[in-house]
Amino acid sequence: MQGNVAYRVREIIREICQAHNIQIIRGHISRDHIHIFISAPPQLSISKIAQYLKGKTSRKLLQEDMNLRRKFWGHHLWGRGFFAVSSGAITDEMVMEYIEKQDEDEEKRGDEFTVIET
């Protein structure tokens, strides 16, 4: 994901999180994956959050972008799985530092959810 698509994904993720009372602590969109560190209400399972994020971003992006719709016709926009871990074994600061280091551009680190430009 890059350019306008990456920024649109970030916007949609922010909307979804706000609608479900999920706080984005730090996030980063790379060309081929997304890291997102969140704080979510305990009644929301991780699998449900992944379903919301992947399903709604995919649906909206494919509705809005004809080029993506052509490219992914008959295929899935996102991979089947996801990786999730709680921050209990490591500190929140360690998680945020890892996500921040995904992007070498210092100017972008002020935002809690960065998009890499390639």
Residue 25 burial (C-beta neighbours within 10 Å; 0-12, 13-18, 19+): middle
Q: Where are the domains of the chain?
A: 3-108
Report yes or no on whether pTM surpasses 0.75. no
Structural Rg of the chain based on CA atoms: 14
CB 12 within 8 A of CB 60: yes
Helix (H, G, I), strand (E, B) or coil at 79: coil
Q: Which two tokens stand for residue 74?
A: 């008959």
CATH of 3-108, one of 3.30.70.1290, 3.40.50.300, 3.30.420.40, 1.10.3470.10: 3.30.70.1290
| Residuewise pLDDT in 10s, the chain (118 residues) | 667 878 888 999 999 999 999 999 989 888 778 888 999 999 999 999 998 988 888 888 877 877 766 666 666 666 777 778 777 777 888 887 877 777 555 455 556 676 666 5
End-to-end, the C-alpha distance of the chain in Å comes to: 9
